[in-house]
Structure 1
Amino acid sequence: MVEVPGAQAAYRLLDVLSELGIHAGGASLTGLAQALELPLSTTRRLLRVLCDRGFAVQDEVTRLYELGPQARILGTLRLDRRSLGELALPVLEELRETTGETVFLSVRDGMELTYVECLRAVHPVQMYGEVGQRVPLHATSQGKAILAFLPEVLVDRLLPRLDLARFTPNTITDLAELKADLAAIRERRFALNLEEREPGVHSVSAAVLDPLGNAVASVCVGAPSFRLTPEQMADDLAPLLLKAAEQLSHLLFPRVAVRPSRRSGARRR
Structure 2
Amino acid sequence: MGRGRYRLGPSTARLATRALVNSMDSTDTEELAACLDRMRRDTDGGLAFLFGLSHFGRAQRQCIEMSVGTSDLSELGASTRDVLMVNSSLRVGATGRAILAHLPEPVQRKVIAEPVPRGAGPGVYRDREELMASLAEIRANGYAVGLQECAPGWNSVAAPIFLDSAVLGAVVVLKPAEVIPAPLDRYIDVVKSAAVDMGRLVGAPAPERYLAAKGA
In the superposition, the TM-score normalised over structure 1's length comes to: 0.62
How far, CA to CA, are the matches of 1:134 and 1:253 in structure 2?
25
Structure 2 partner of 1:119: 67
1:80 aligns with 2:21: yes
The higher radius of gyration belongs to 1
Structure 2 partner of 1:188: 141
1:55-204 equivalence runs, <5 A: 56=8, 65-66=9-10, 68=12, 79-80=20-21, 86=30, 88-99=32-43, 100-109=45-54, 110-121=58-69, 129=80, 130-156=83-109, 158-165=110-117, 167-204=120-157
Structure 2 partner of 1:224: 176
Structure 1 partner of 2:214: none
Q: Secondary structure at the match of 1:80?
A: helix
Q: Secondary structure at the match of 1:49?
A: coil
Compare relative contact order (CA 8 Å, sep 6+) and give the higher one, 1 or 2: 2
TM-fit CA distance, 1:89: 1.2
Contact map agreement 2:154 2:176 (CA 8 A) in 1: yes
1:116 and 1:45, CA in 2 relative to 1: closer, same or farther beyond 3 A?
A: same
Residue 92 of structure 1 aligns with an amino acid whose one-letter code is L
**Structure 1 range deviating more: 198-207 or 119-128:** 119-128
TM-fit CA distance, 1:240: 1.0
How far, CA to CA, are the matches of 1:102 and 1:178 in structure 2?
25
Q: Secondary structure at the match of 1:216?
A: strand
Residue 49 of structure 1 aligns with an amino acid whose one-letter code is R
| Residues 59-109 of structure 1: per-residue CA shift (max 9 Å, x gap) | xxxxxx32527x97xxx9995399585551121122122222110000122
Instruction: Could you tell me which runs of 5 or more consecutive residues in structure 2 were left unpaired when the two chains were aligned.
Output: 211-216
Q: Secondary structure at the match of 2:85?
A: coil
Aligned-pair identity (%) = 22
In the superposition, the TM-score normalised over structure 2's length comes to: 0.75
Residue 141 of structure 2 aligns with an amino acid whose one-letter code is R
Q: CA RMSD in A?
A: 3.3
TM-fit CA distance, 1:260: 4.2
How far, CA to CA, are the matches of 1:196 and 1:82 in structure 2?
34
Instruction: Could you tell me which runs of 5 or more consecutive residues in structure 1 were left unpaired when the two chains were aligned.
Output: 1-43, 57-64, 263-269
For these two proteins, the number of residue pairs brought into alignment is 196
Structure 1 partner of 2:5: 49
How far, CA to CA, are the matches of 1:77 and 1:207 in structure 2?
20
Q: 2:195 aligns with which of 236, 245, 250?
A: 245
How far, CA to CA, are the matches of 2:91 and 2:150 in structure 1?
9
Residue 169 of structure 1 aligns with an amino acid whose one-letter code is P
How far, CA to CA, are the matches of 1:77 and 1:150 in structure 2?
21
1:184 and 1:94, CA in 2 relative to 1: closer, same or farther beyond 3 A?
A: same
